[in-house]
Amino acid sequence: MRTKALWMALLLAPAGALCAQGAYAAGTTKCTMHFTMKGWSAIYQTANGSGTVTCENGQSMDVVINAKGGGLSFGKYRLDNGVGHFSGVTDIKDILGSYATANAHGGVVHSSHAAAMTKGPVSLALTATGKGWDFGAGFESFSISRPK
């Protein structure tokens, strides 16, 4: 199962890279997010997490992450060492908001996730590994906000 999840993740990663390259333009900066998340899915999917975004222009921000949605998905997981790459960002505030996304994930004991998403001119490609059991693919709403 883990092998299939890694193949799905590898198939989605180039899509995220293409989105990221297309969104990069003059006057923009690249930003990176390091995050952790935990969640569950039984057709309906939910996950919550937190992270820190840093940009090449020196800006940084702590963030809260929420993901919800549906699809063919089952399991419970915790993602550690997640990394997201943003492109098309002119100011760090551009990363805030809701993204349209497609994802793939899978694993037993060790879990792997990959997602590519966009929000207007901003693109985000995520990869993460963790622990738990899960498998599937789905579409979800992925939102990034400031901590309260």
Q: What is the pLDDT of residues 47-96, one digit of tens each?
A: 899 999 999 999 999 999 998 876 555 667 778 888 999 999 999 999 99
Between the alpha carbon of residue 77 and those of residues 19, 89, 112, 130, 144, the distances in Å are 27, 30, 10, 7, 20
User: In this structure, which amino acid lies at residue 120?
Assistant: G
| CA 9 to chain CA centroid, nearest Å | 12
How many degrees, rounded to 5, is the angle at CA 66 between CA 23 and CA 137?
75
For all residues of the chain together, what is the average pLDDT? 75
Q: Is residue 41 over pLDDT 80?
A: no
